[in-house]
Amino acid sequence: MLRLSRKSDYALVALKALRALEPGDALSARELASRFGLPVDLTPKVLARLAQAGLVQATLGKSGGYRLARDADTITVAEVVRILDGDPALAPCREGILECHRIADCDLRNPLDNLQREMMNVLDRMTLANL
Amino acid sequence: MLRLSRKSDYALVALKALRALEPGDALSARELASRFGLPVDLTPKVLARLAQAGLVQATLGKSGGYRLARDADTITVAEVVRILDGDPALAPCREGILECHRIADCDLRNPLDNLQREMMNVLDRMTLANL
DNA sequence: GGAAAGGCGACCAATCTGGTCCGATATTAA
DNA sequence: TTAATATCGGACCAGATTGGTCGCCTTTCC
């Protein structure tokens, strides 16, 4: 637990680069990848997810690329993580795959859910702007 | 990220059960496993790790078992996670395996390290007693 | 001595995830 | 209109991680 997936990591690197752009400029996935040593084929995928989610705006065409679609201080780490890694569940039994054999006397779930909320709050408070 | 490993989950379940014990009593791994539906062969391993770390006291022999070795309010979730999942690193490049190609202009690491510390603080404040 | 407990190491299996390949589509420049 | 460059999306492979099992040993109590 508590390790950023590489995709999320790449996303943060890319977003941070896009943030440093002059208004009106854009960066292609290829450019981002080569500049930061990211996997060439994976970078467009990551950016695409961010574009779907509306964090980033993609412009097609010969001199296209990506730019931020929102202000940097409205983009939180929590959101990025949620987009790329899905909504995390602290307890394994909250993922649907594993059914819990001890539901009856399971007084561990609620505290864990609270704990998770608290941790997501930490991630929510951290925006791209103050990263 | 942000999902408890099953081992950590099992550990918390077991610890919580041990906490409810009368002083002097002990629970065997087998008993814990059957009572909470944990994998029979995995449970002793988890408990052994906790015993090595000094969270739990194991007594050998026919009527042996496990009991808490410390007060419940001195056992934190952070400690349990650290024992079973190792010391987590939020950024992939902080794990030693992956060398970072962008160290020079990587101003992402320090903020992530801070973020990680903050999250560990949350886990540090949560003890077995108030879980 | 036998039964029941923990301790330890090796090993298998399933899952997850990073990463690649390929093709389709859209847009712009020449 | 054509070529180049971009996003988009699905299928797929491979390596790492992790969950889980098996077997053997030591210790303790009856």
| pLDDT single digits (tens) A6-48 | 899 999 999 989 998 888 788 888 888 888 888 888 999 999 8
User: Does A88 contact B115 at a Cβ distance shorter than 8 Å?
Assistant: no
Report how many domains make up chain B.
Answer: 1
Closest CA-bearing residue to C1' of D21: B41
**In this model, does residue A1 exceed pLDDT 70?**
yes
Residue count (chain A): 131
Question: What pLDDT shows up at residue A100?
Answer: 58
Residues B30-59 have a mean pLDDT of: 94
Burial of A103 (0-12, 13-18, 19+ CB in 10 A): exposed
Name the residue range of residue B35's domain. Answer: 6-125
A97 in a domain, yes or no? yes
Q: What are phi and psi of B30, to 5 degrees?
A: -60, -45
Rounded to whole angstroms, how far apart are CA atoms B79 and B31? 24
Cβ atoms within 10 Å, residue B36: 19
CATH at residue A12 = 1.10.10.10
Question: What pLDDT shows up at residue A3?
Answer: 85
Structure tokens at B86: 């190792």
Average pLDDT, chain B: 86
**In this model, does residue B99 exceed pLDDT 60?**
no
Question: What pLDDT shows up at residue A34?
Answer: 87
User: Does B85 contact A8 at a Cβ distance shorter than 8 Å?
Assistant: no
A131 in a domain, yes or no? no
Confidence class for position A94, pLDDT limits 50, 70, 90: low
Structure tokens at A67: 């730019």
- A60 nearest nt, CA–C1': D6
Residues B52-80 have a mean pLDDT of: 94
Structure tokens at B102: 């962008």
For A127, name the nearest residue in chain B, comparing CA atoms only.
Answer: B111
Question: What pLDDT shows up at residue B57?
Answer: 95
**In this model, does residue A96 exceed pLDDT 60?**
no
Q: At what angle do helices B77-85 and B6-19 cross, to 10 degrees?
A: 140
Cβ atoms within 10 Å, residue B14: 24
- B56 nearest nt, CA–C1': C6
Q: What are phi and psi of B67, to 5 degrees?
A: -145, 165
**In this model, does residue A101 exceed pLDDT 70?**
no
**In this model, does residue A104 exceed pLDDT 50?**
no
B130 in a domain, yes or no? no
Residues B77-83 have a mean pLDDT of: 93
Contact call for residues A9 and B91 (beta carbons, < 8 A): yes
A130 in a domain, yes or no? no
Distance, first Cα to last Cα, chain B: 21
**In this model, does residue B106 exceed pLDDT 80?**
no
DSSP chain A: -----HHHHHHHHHHHHHHTSPTT--B-HHHHHHHHT--TTHHHHHHHHHHHTTSEEEE-STT-EEEESS-GGG-BHHHHHHHHH-S--SSGGGSSSSPPTT-TT--SHHHHHHHHHHHHHHHHH-BSTT-
Rounded to whole angstroms, how far apart are CA atoms A85 and B93? 18
- A93 vs B108, more confident: B108
Question: What pLDDT shows up at residue A74?
Answer: 93
Structure tokens at A79: 């959101």
Confidence class for position A97, pLDDT limits 50, 70, 90: very low
**In this model, does residue A93 exceed pLDDT 80?**
no
Residues 48-67 (B) near nucleic chain D, CB < 7 A: 59-64
B30 in a domain, yes or no? yes
User: Does B119 contact A5 at a Cβ distance shorter than 8 Å?
Assistant: no
Question: What pLDDT shows up at residue A98?
Answer: 46
B131 in a domain, yes or no? no
b/e sequence A75-97, b meaning 16+ C-beta within 10 Å:
bbbbbbbbbbbeebbbbbbbeee
